[in-house]
Amino acid sequence: MQAFVLIHRRCRVPRLPLTWTFGLAAAFGGFAGTVGALAMAPRARADMVYGNGHIAVYSFSDSVCTDLVDPISVVFVNKATTTNVNTHAGHHGRWTYRDGTMQYFYDHACKPLASQAANRASWGLPGRYHMRHRPNTDAVWGTYSLATPHYEDTLWCGHAVDSNWDEAPGGFVKAKWEVGYRWHNWNNGGGAHVYVHSEWWGNTDPQWQCDGQPAWNDGWTDIIRID
């Protein structure tokens, strides 16, 4: 019995100063409070941001993605790496030029474009097909690239996308059709590009051009598979 008391006394945790005890208690409480708050917080879609969603349906002119510019009207999916998109753009549409100004894409975060593809140089006459694109990967689309195809005229005031007023269907839709039709050569079997379907993304905001006319997408975004 005496031995037990001796061991018990030796094994006792040394008594801490009172301030340490209070501090430890507060830290423990803080830890429990953090865990509790995290557990009770609503299961919000933490990666979805009001105003952009997981994927914003426009590109942006600024690096914090506040200033909307061009509608995303094509998503290349499956094996749509930047290299593959450029290779196909060059092979099928001769969109081999890579020049153009910087824009940004919001895809869970605001990031700069990865590349551009056009069938003429920036100031080529009378105008050119052009798109900016940026890749990402997920479980649904595999490696995909968001793209903003448009047809822009070279004018005295700069570039102007064909208007929906007097050049229907307008430069955004015209370029989307170019990618969706001529690149794929539907009438001859299609090859390694496959049109999957169109989704309504609703990105039809009129975009004023430097010539005083507006252009807009028709709101449909084509999903195109690259194998």
Partner 1 sequence: METQRRRQRLGVLGAALGGFAIAFLVVSTVRGGPGSQPGTLPRRPVLTAQQRAERFQAGEPWQGRGRGPWSQADVDAFADYALVWLGEEFAGYHLQAVSRTKYDAPPDIPTARPQDMVTFIYGTCTPAPGAHGCLAPASVQIQPACLVRPEQVAERVKHGPAETVRGGGRLQRFADGHVMLWIGKIVVRVNVVADPDRVDDAVRQLRGVGRLNAALRAGGPLASPDFSACPRQ
Interacting positions 87-106 with partner 1 (CB under 8 A) = 101-103, 106
| Distance, CA of 86 to CA of 99 (rounded, Å) | 13
Residue 111: CB minimum distance to partner 1, A: 14
Structure-block tokens of residue 183? 């690149």
Nearest to partner 1 of 70, 105 (CB atom)? 70
Q: Which of residues 160-199 bind partner 1 (CB under 8 A)?
A: 160-161, 164-166, 168-170, 173, 176-177, 180-181, 186-187, 195, 198-199
Q: Which of residues 54-83 bind partner 1 (CB under 8 A)?
A: 54-58, 61-62, 64-70
The answer to whether 196 touches 77, Cβ cutoff 8 Å, is: yes
Residue 222: CB minimum distance to partner 1, A: 5
| Distance, CA of 85 to CA of 89 (rounded, Å) | 6
121 touching partner 1, by CB under 8 A: no
31 touching partner 1, by CB under 8 A: yes
126 touching partner 1, by CB under 8 A: no
13 touching partner 1, by CB under 8 A: no
Residue 81: CB minimum distance to partner 1, A: 21
- Element at 220 (helix H, strand E): strand 220-226
**β-pairing, 55-60 with 68-71?**
antiparallel
Q: How many other β-carbons are positioned within 10 Å of the β-carbon of residue 143?
A: 18
The answer to whether 132 touches 145, Cβ cutoff 8 Å, is: no
137 touching partner 1, by CB under 8 A: no
